[in-house]
Structure 1
Amino acid sequence: MCGRFALTLPDDAVARLFDARLSNDSATAHGQNICPTQPVLTILSKAGERHAGPMRWGFLPHWYTTETDGPLLINARAETIATKPAFAQAVRRRRCLIPATGFYEWTKDAEGARLPWYIYPPEGGVLAFAGVWQVWGAEDTRQATCAIVTCAANDRLKALHHRMPVILSPQDWPKWLGEEGHGAAPLMRPAPDDALRFHRVGTAINSNRASGDGLIDPLPLGTG
């Protein structure tokens, strides 16, 4: 799964990376502790043009009458996304990219304490999570919402968690965004083992209120 991630680059820089036009309404969450229900930067394609803009991280199916009318759908499993009523239409017609500079997973020690790990590309840069989106609500409640697609973890990340986000390489972006027709299902696979690195970080990130620039710093050697 993916329940927390980081995006430390400004929106305009990310939009340029994805060759997308940045929305005027670009009030998105940034920093090293982006959490569910926050507005996250997304990339989608309309009429052959890419657009970058905010969506609520937490997919709201059309039958929800309020934002809390059902479970918080921050992830969509690749194995069942095409058959789940909440996501079936979205994965066929409404796919997006969700940029990130890294994300987090947790293990537990012998006493059950949650130990956070930061996962990121070896050379830095930006990851592109596969996402699906849905416009929900009417009139003053109308908003775009999204979920991150997940798959089984690759062999390297299995030590931390059995799931991981679907991470798309630049050559796969046009297919996922629907710019090269249909048939995006084969893209929903684990990233190669060498595509990511990880290290332990401090437990401050366990709080969704944590902020600052040191959350992704590796723990000093010998720290438990």
Structure 2
Amino acid sequence: MCGRFSLLGTPEEIAAYLALMELEAFPARYNIAPTQPILMVVSGETPPPGSNRPDRRALLVRWGFIPGWVKDTANYPLMMNARSETAIEKASFKAAMRHRRALIPASGFYEWRRDGNRKSQAYWIRPRNGGIVAFAGLHEPWANAEGSEMDTGAILTTSASEDLRFIHDRMPVVIEQKDFARWLDCKTQEPRHVADLMKPAQADFFEAIPVSDKVNKVANTGPEIQERFIETLAEAKKPARAKPADPDDQMNLF
């Protein structure tokens, strides 16, 4: 799964990586949590006149997918992830898999390893060579009964690469730059045509850095949450902390 991630690249770096014409300024984000706005890139309608760049648009969407047919979200689960193996079969995701595939730029993601009843250990998982990656995503417009609209989205996940399975058995699907056009092309590329892209990243592509439990709290949004955590003997003897608050409890920014 993917419950938190980070985006630290500059707008210029992200625009260049995703072949966007331009991207508005925004701050580095170290601790992106569900229900918060996330950046997604989707295919446009027509190529820009006189440009050799593909037509791609940047969207700011709520991280938490809401199918268009949902009328009342009060009792609807928070769907921040979608399993790539079954998304085309699920009523919630199958329309988006066919018509609204997206790219989600990221600098890495966080995952938690739990050893039985022992407290969980958080890891900051980033590309070993640095830079930006693009997670496979789905986006969906949703409107409430009053007609107010918002865009929502989810990250597609797959089985974890062999070197990350000691932390968790799932990870985000990473789309390579050479495959951006094929993934975003929902007109000629059906889900079965892009199924080969929904696979684990190559072993050693990511490195996993143990970090402190500061990342558990959504209010912690600075670079200190990515500092390497070294547990001392005294810390190891401390009683386990209470379970972190559910990210769904944070303030919805939309």
TM-score (ref. length: structure 1): 0.91
SS of 2:129's equivalent in the other structure is coil
In the alignment, what sits opposite 1:177? 184
In the alignment, what sits opposite 2:58? 52
In the alignment, what sits opposite 1:40? 38
Q: Deviation of residue 55 (structure 1)?
A: 0.9
Aligned pair partner of 1:212 in 219, 222, 229:
222
Give distance in 2, aligned partners of 1:79 and 1:54. 26
Q: Deviation of residue 13 (structure 1)?
A: 3.1
Matched to 1:19, the amino acid is: A
Give distance in 1, aligned partners of 2:161 and 2:69. 34
Larger strand percent: 1
Q: Deviation of residue 85 (structure 1)?
A: 0.3
CA shift in 2, pair 1:221/1:76, >3 Å? same
Give distance in 1, aligned partners of 2:30 and 2:74. 26
CA shift in 2, pair 1:166/1:23, >3 Å? same
- Aligned ranges for residues 149-160 of structure 1 at < 5 Å? 149-160=156-167
Give distance in 2, aligned partners of 1:105 and 1:13. 25
Aligned pair partner of 2:197 in 171, 187, 196:
187
SS of 2:15's equivalent in the other structure is helix
SS of 1:52's equivalent in the other structure is strand
- Aligned ranges for residues 33-112 of structure 1 at < 5 Å? 33-47=31-45, 48=47, 49-109=55-115, 111-112=117-118
CA shift in 2, pair 1:5/1:29, >3 Å? farther
Structure 2 unaligned spans of 5+: 48-54, 237-254
Give distance in 2, aligned partners of 1:10 and 1:69. 37
Count how many residue pairs are aligned between Structure 1 and Structure 2: 222
CA shift in 2, pair 1:109/1:55, >3 Å? same
CA shift in 2, pair 1:43/1:53, >3 Å? same
Structure 1 unaligned spans of 5+: none
Q: 2:9 aligned with 1:18, yes or no?
A: no
In the alignment, what sits opposite 2:9? 9
Give distance in 1, aligned partners of 2:15 and 2:104. 11
Matched to 1:141, the amino acid is: S
CA shift in 2, pair 1:64/1:12, >3 Å? farther
Give distance in 1, aligned partners of 2:12 and 2:64. 23
Q: Deviation of residue 74 (structure 1)?
A: 0.5
Matched to 1:90, the amino acid is: A
**8 Å CA contact retained: 1:103, 1:120:** yes
SS of 1:17's equivalent in the other structure is helix
For residues 152-202 of structure 1, the C-alpha deviation after alignment (integer angstroms, 9 at most, x for no partner) is: 111111110000000111011111111793111111111100211111001
Q: 2:120 aligned with 1:114, yes or no?
A: yes
Q: 2:195 aligned with 1:197, yes or no?
A: no
**Deviates most, 98-107 or 66-75:** 66-75
When Rg is computed on C-alpha atoms for both structures, the one with the higher figure is 2
Identity %: 36
Give distance in 1, aligned partners of 2:112 and 2:232. 19
